[in-house]
């Protein structure tokens, strides 16, 4: 077995095994698990999400013209094209799993496992899709053209934090981590500076604006689902809860909640039918609080229901930042900021 995560006697798809060498585990959950892997010939690293077919909920499938039924998550990584959304590179499958091969974005933020990663090689690699794919395989762009316009930078993460405490999310032993959760944990005061927060938040807002324009709601925006490099360039990952908002229904409402409770909007917590767009804006407000303060704006569910923001009193940030935070976290979804209003907010005009 290549990892504890695979069942006894499991065989990897042969073309995958010939192409990639599995390395470290990045995360795991009920849906499956994520590992890094190295391209055997070109040497660059990728992230591979192993999605257990049986665990993909009924709502999370789409019919693809070319490939038939696919998890929405797999479809979207191919379909979307935005600099702040992680790119799908390839797809494999066996009886149990889809293997969603993605660009490995970011820098490892885990102090113990902070090894150089091979973004440089990724950018220089020839198209990895030149090998004949087995069906179904996504005809994705080559990694070269999907890469960012900015040149790759060496891995210089933030200076280590002033405390050796481990993050509070479920431990995944000593894996390298590339996400914003870890980045915040490793930052000197366990939060970003206001300038860093602005830079990161603007990119996330840009990506969510793009999603909104394409009728897509991510529904699980949070620090763990954003990967970040040492220049604070970020990309959104994990479209496992995403949906297409049906354009034929003028104001569709949802009753079931698929995201993370700490990021759930007031109307979701009070079990009202909710609209996807304002609920997404709320998650952005919670994210903004994590960036600026390192903690949720709401110590209790009651505070969240009322939209009662509790500030960490030792932390100072500008009135404009506070205004945007309040606008995103308005308890009334009709009065909450729209993604357009966030984009145009004066906090970004510095
Ligand atoms: P889950 O649905 O279980 O939350 P994710 O897709 O969010 O799975 O992946 C789990 C973790 O793996 C993320 O929080 C992140 O730390 C890491 N990860 C996933 N995809 C990537 C990627 N493309 N680049 C870097 N890290 C990734
Ligand atoms: Mg996730
Ligand atoms: Mg998920």
- pLDDT band at residue 69 under the 50/70/90 scheme: very high
217 Cα to the center of ligand 2, angstroms:
15
Burial class for 49, CB neighbours closer than 10 Å (0-12, 13-18, 19+): buried
Question: Mean pLDDT lowest for which of 53-57, 143-147, 345-349?
Answer: 143-147
49 Cα to the center of ligand 1, angstroms:
8
114 Cα to the center of ligand 3, angstroms:
24
Tell me, using a 6 A CB cutoff, whether residue 238 lines ligand 1. yes
pLDDT for 94 equals 96
Cβ atoms within 10 A of the Cβ of 165, count?
Answer: 9
Asked if 179 is an active-site residue, the reply is no
Per DSSP, the residues of 247-266 read TTSSS--B----S-GGG--H
Q: Percent of the chain having pLDDT more than 90?
A: 68
pLDDT tens sequence across 105-121: 988 876 544 443 333 33
pLDDT for 181 equals 95
Pocket test for ligand 1, best of 26, 88, 107, 240 (most atoms within 8 A of CB): 26
pLDDT tens sequence across 129-155: 333 333 333 433 333 333 333 333 332
The residue whose two tokens read 């693809």 is 64
Task: Say whether pLDDT at 101 is over 70.
Answer: yes
- For atom 4 of ligand 1, the residue with the nearest CA is 238
Tell me, using a 6 A CB cutoff, whether residue 234 lines ligand 1. no
Tell me, using a 6 A CB cutoff, whether residue 227 lines ligand 1. yes
pLDDT for 80 equals 95
- Mean pLDDT of all residues belonging to the chain: 83
pLDDT tens sequence across 155-166: 223 233 322 223
Residue from 249, 268, 266 nearest 257 by CA: 268
- pLDDT band at residue 254 under the 50/70/90 scheme: confident
Catalytic one among 24, 90, 212, 220?
A: 220
């Amino acid at each position: 077995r290549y990892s504890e995560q695979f069942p006894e006697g499991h065989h990897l798809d042969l073309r995958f095994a010939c192409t990639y060498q599995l390395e470290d585990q990045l995360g795991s959950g009920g849906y499956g698990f994520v590992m890094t892997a190295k391209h055997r010939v070109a040497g660059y690293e990728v992230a591979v999400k192993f999605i257990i077919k049986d665990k993909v909920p009924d709502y999370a499938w789409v019919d693809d013209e070319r490939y038939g039924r696919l998890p929405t998550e797999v479809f979207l990584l191919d379909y979307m094209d935005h600099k702040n959304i992680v790119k799908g590179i390839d797809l494999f499958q066996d009886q149990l799993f889809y293997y969603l091969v993605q660009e490995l974005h970011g820098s490892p933020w885990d102090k113990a496992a902070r090894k150089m990663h091979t973004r440089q090689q990724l950018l220089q690699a020839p198209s990895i899709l030149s090998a004949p794919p087995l069906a179904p395989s996504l005809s994705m762009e080559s990694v070269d053209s999907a890469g960012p316009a900015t040149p790759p930078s060496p891995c210089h993460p933030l200076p280590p934090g002033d405390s050796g405490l481990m993050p509070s999310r479920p431990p995944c032993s000593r894996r390298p981590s590339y996400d914003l959760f870890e980045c915040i944990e490793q930052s000197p005061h366990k939060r970003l500076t206001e300038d860093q927060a602005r830079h990161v938040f603007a990119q996330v807002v840009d990506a969510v604006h793009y999603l909104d324009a394409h009728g897509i709601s991510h529904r699980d925006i949070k620090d763990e689902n954003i990967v970040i490099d040492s220049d604070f360039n970020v990309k959104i990952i994990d479209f496992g809860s995403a949906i297409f908002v049906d354009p034929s229904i003028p104001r569709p409402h949802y009753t079931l909640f698929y995201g993370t409770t700490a990021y759930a909007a007031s109307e979701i917590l009070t079990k009202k039918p909710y609209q996807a767009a304002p609920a997404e804006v709320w998650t952005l407000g919670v994210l903004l609080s994590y960036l600026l303060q390192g903690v949720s704006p709401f110590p209790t569910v009651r505070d969240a229901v009322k939209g009662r923001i509790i500030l960490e009193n030792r932390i100072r940030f500008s009135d404009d930042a506070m205004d945007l935070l309040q606008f995103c976290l308005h308890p009334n979804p009709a009065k909450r900021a729209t993604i357009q209003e966030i984009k145009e907010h004066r906090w970004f005009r510095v």
